[in-house]
Amino acid sequence: MASADESLVCQLDDGRTAAEPCVLVILGASGDLTARKLIPALSRLHDRGALPAPFQIVGMARRTKSDEAWRAELRETVAALPAHSSLPAASWDSFAARLSYCTGDLTDPAAFGRLASHIRERAQMPWARRILFYLATSPSQFSPIVENLCRAGLLERGRSPEAWQRVVVEKPFGHDRPSAATLNAELLRFIDETQIFRIDHYLGKETVQNILMFRFSNAIFEQIWSRESIDHVQITVSEKAGVGPRGGYYEEAGALRDMVQNHLLQVLALIAMEPPVSLDAEAIRDEKTKLLRSIRRIPPAAVARQVVRGQYAAGAIDGQARPAYRQEPRVAPDSSVETYVAIELFIDTWRWADVPFYLRTGKNLPLNASEVRIQFRAPPRVLFAAQCGPLLDANAFTLRLQPDEGISLRFNGKIPGTALRLRPVRMHFSYHTEFQAYTPEAYERLLLDALAGDATLFIRRDEVEAAWAIVDPIRAAWNGIPLADAEFYPAGAWGPRAAEELLARQGRAWRNPQPV
């Protein structure tokens, strides 16, 4: 007999185990993303029996390599990942049998003819015409690859029930709004918007998806989800790692483009959007886009007041010395690229008027933690609040996105005893304790969705442009202005002092995530 809890499970889809037989082609297959994210995710999906059958994975890159050499290379990287130590050898072997490698220069149109033959040799009709192309390359190659795929007859506009082709495009999608719009226009010359899957891996995280369930499957939270009850919102994505070997990329990106334009704004959109009219991809993406469009632009003159940038100087984390950003490989010794950003944003809607949303992210911070803190208004200054004054903590919800995923409610309670004393206490829901289930990695979910043609967790054309429109004026205001001394923070600190002042000016303070 089903337990009480099981009888209450409401299943909305099939868990994506039923995608049709098809082919996945990874363009740029010798890169880090393929070995560290895509192949591990695919091998776990294979182990769980969640991949279609038959199913072929073709890797394509410039370096000449045999299938065996590519498999062995991937095996080595995957085996070194902590989450994979438990993957049975037999499972890897049967997975590896699905992998093949096609040597080809992605800028050479002739290579795509060879890719077409490679696919024909390994897949049968009709599923040989159902292909998901994954662009794991540098952004400058995105549109030439799509053009080459089309010219080779591998990628066709539209779809029929028998055959479909889709393209997953990695970030960064453009480097500002005009370049994103140009890239959109270039891709749309060859394929339809319904075939383009712009990835933001934060949307594949279980806890990020849960924001929608939390808000729209419970009656109690939506009632208080507005300026009537909420004082402000803090979204923190802190990373303990520095830039490490990615200095070359990071010098072009910086934290604003690398993290804020995509991951943080996506989390903000899910937290603040209006209820969608349905659970369809378009309905959800309509609301996210509307929300992004209603974020008030920060005019250049206000950037210094509403945005704080920072760069890590040398320091230490957990007793280990960390070099300054300027000493990292492939970073200019006088670089002014930001490794930290804190922003105050306002959303011009009836629901959120005058409620500040504070977003911050940085490298070489004390902890790995992503969380959203909904800080409620202080209680009226009567009774306990009148007596305790500012000592009485306001209520808060914390949605911990990673690690130690969970949701906490903070409220005040009486300390037991004869004296009348209060302090904040916490009611905590932990995913791990509640479900003890395997949590799929973001790329597992996103790959399955792309194979099944579900675009809900991918970014739409207008959405990506709306997100750039928010960050572009900030970058423009920083352009050419070197970092001031006060904008450096030692590795291991919670960012530059100015980030504290950003909130302190309004009588508020950051609440730093706590270690697990």
Of 249 and 384, nearer to ligand BG6 (C-beta) is 249
Between CA 319 and CA 179 the distance in angstroms is 42
Residue reference for tokens 């105050």: 344
Q: How far apart are the C-alpha atoms of 190 and 484, rounded to whole Å?
A: 46
Minimum separation from the CB atom of position 258 to ligand BG6 (A)? 5
Question: Measured from the CB atom, is 139 or 453 closer to ligand BG6?
Answer: 139
Cβ atoms of 35 and 78 closer than 8 Å: yes
Residue 70 or 489 having the CB closest to ligand BG6: 489
Minimum distance from residue 204 beta carbon to ligand BG6 (Å): 9
Name the amino acid, one letter, at 79: A
Binding flag, residue 258, ligand BG6 (CB under 6 A)? yes
| Pick 129 or 246: Cβ nearer ligand BG6 | 246
Q: Considering beta carbons, is residue 239 or 287 the nearer one to ligand BG6?
A: 239
The CB-of-267 to ligand BG6 minimum distance in angstroms stands at 11
Residue from 47, 170, 231, 239 touching ligand BG6 (CB under 6 A): that is: 239
Of 183 and 253, nearer to ligand BG6 (C-beta) is 253
How many whole angstroms from its chain centre is CA 289?
Answer: 16
Q: Tell me whether residue 263 is one of the annotated catalytic residues.
A: yes
Q: How far is CA 117 from CA 58, 113, 121, 128, 507, in A?
A: 12, 7, 6, 11, 65
CB of 215 to ligand BG6, least distance (A): 22
Q: Closer to ligand BG6 by CB, 131 or 450: give it.
A: 450
Give the separation between CA 93 and CA 100, rounded to whole angstroms: 13
Give the span between the Cα atoms of 283 and 273, in whole angstroms: 11
The beta strands (E) that lie in 215-323 are given as: 230-238, 307-313, 315-317, 320-322
DSSP 67-95: HHHHHHHHHHHHHHSGGGTTS-HHHHHHH
Please, what is the minimum distance in Å from the beta carbon of residue 499 to ligand BG6?
A: 19
Centre a 10 Å sphere on the Cβ of residue 7 and count the other Cβ atoms it contains: 8
What sign does the CA torsion over 256, 258, 263, 265 have? Answer: positive
Question: Which of 357, 340, 369 lies closest to 499, judged by CA?
Answer: 340
100 beta partners? 58
Rg (alpha carbons) of the chain, rounded to whole number: 24
Largest CA distance in the chain: 84
The residue of the chain with the least Cβ separation from ligand BG6 equals: 258
Interaction of residue 405 with ligand BG6, rule CB under 6 A: no
* Least CB distance to ligand BG6 at residue 375 (A): 23
Give min distance, CB of 363 to ligand BG6, in A: 7
Q: Among residue numbers 87 through 106, which ones bind ligand BG6 (CB under 6 A)?
A: none
Q: How far is the CB of 210 from ligand BG6 (least distance, A)?
A: 16
Contact present, 177 and 465 (Cβ < 8 Å): yes
Of residues 484-503, which lie at the interface with ligand BG6 (CB under 6 A)? none
CA 326 to CA 314: how far, in whole Å?
9
Phi first, then psi, for residue 185 (nearest 5°) are -65, -40
- By beta-carbon proximity to ligand BG6, the closer residue of 101 and 134 is 134
Q: Does 463 bind ligand BG6 (CB under 6 A)?
A: no
Closest by Cα among 173, 363, 329 to 248: 329
Residue in 84, 118, 263, 432 annotated catalytic: 263
Instruction: Tell me, by CB under 6 A, how many residues bind ligand BG6.
Output: 2
3-state secondary structure of 383: helix
Instruction: Report the interface residues with ligand BG6, using CB under 6 A.
Output: 239, 258
* Residues with active-site annotation: 263
